[in-house]
Amino acid sequence: MINLNQIISAMHSRVNKAISPHCEMYRYARTGFASEEDTQDYYFSSGFELAKNLCGFLLEVGVEPEHVDLLDFAAGYGRITRWLVPTFKSVTVADVEQNMLAFHEQVLGIQGFLSPAKAKSLYSHPDRYDVVFVFSLFTHLPKHTWSQWLAAIFSLVRESGYLIFSTHSYEMFAELAPGKFESQHKKNFVFWEGNETNGRLQTSIYGSNVLTDEFVKRELTRLGNASHVRRYKKGEFDRFHDIYVARKIAKSRTNNSLVNVLTYPASLWRRLKGQRQH
């Protein structure tokens, strides 16, 4: 089995470091750094860390990236995607701008699709993926569409595959914006209209939120076919975001008792059930 060091060296030797002049992630970062050089360092190192940690998680659960069809949903101009391309079997992107898809196709050599205006339209998307990675989209959605996008994006995950997405916690705001929420009761979900796109996306549909672990776990449970695998807290996977991993339960497992009844002869089934009761 390939190890993380081999993956890291493939990433570094084959990453494409072209930056789109339209990349908002870069432009936004530029406002916080003194020079282009520092901004580039941040842009590349933060994207690399996420890609490395994603691969690290997959290796931990016995999945080799070179066998994985990955969807980077809400990929922007590929801050993270560029590091994934050298190591995954296939990488597809989705976002809301044709320009972004053109960048991915022309510069990174990968295909993408436009994310629809309404989450429910995703259900008819023709492809499914082993892993769907969503960094910094669920941190921007209002509560009423959060659940809709979660369910719709989760429908793109193959059985036994993984959805890996980021959120903003109260702990993060306590560090980055001290005082913003301290005086308030910690509601499960708080949304406000403010974003980094300078008018490209409406703040009412793409703003900012903070939410609790309880909220995310309840939403994952509501999906009905998701098992919550892991939560990485801020600093463990990304510098600021929390990361959640949910796995799609295979149909044969959601209906386990039925499968067992059909698979085992009646006498063996009775014995197994009896043993479990003792």
Confirm or reject binding of residue 58 to ligand SAM (CB under 6 A): no
Q: Are strands 112-114 and 90-95 parallel, antiparallel or unpaired?
A: parallel
Q: How far apart are CA 140 and CA 95, in angstroms?
A: 14
Number of residues that bind ligand SAM (CB under 6 A): 15
168 or 248: whose CB is closer to ligand SAM? Answer: 168
Site string for ligand SAM, 95-124 (x = CB under 6 A): xx------------------x---------
Confirm or reject binding of residue 75 to ligand SAM (CB under 6 A): yes
Residues contacting 272, CB < 8 A, separation 6+: 260, 264
Confirm or reject binding of residue 208 to ligand SAM (CB under 6 A): no
Binding segment toward ligand SAM, per CB under 6 A, in 31-39, 52-60, 93-101, 123-131: 93-101
Strand pairing partners for 244? 165, 231
Confirm or reject binding of residue 86 to ligand SAM (CB under 6 A): no
Confirm or reject binding of residue 135 to ligand SAM (CB under 6 A): yes
Confirm or reject binding of residue 57 to ligand SAM (CB under 6 A): no
58 or 156: whose CB is closer to ligand SAM? Answer: 156
Confirm or reject binding of residue 71 to ligand SAM (CB under 6 A): no
76 or 86: whose CB is closer to ligand SAM? Answer: 76
State how far the alpha carbon of 28 is from the alpha carbons of 33, 38, 51, 226, in Å: 10, 13, 20, 34
Reduce the DSSP state of residue 273 to 3 states and report it: helix
Burial of 214 (0-12, 13-18, 19+ CB in 10 A): exposed
Q: How far apart are CA 151 and CA 144, in angstroms?
A: 12
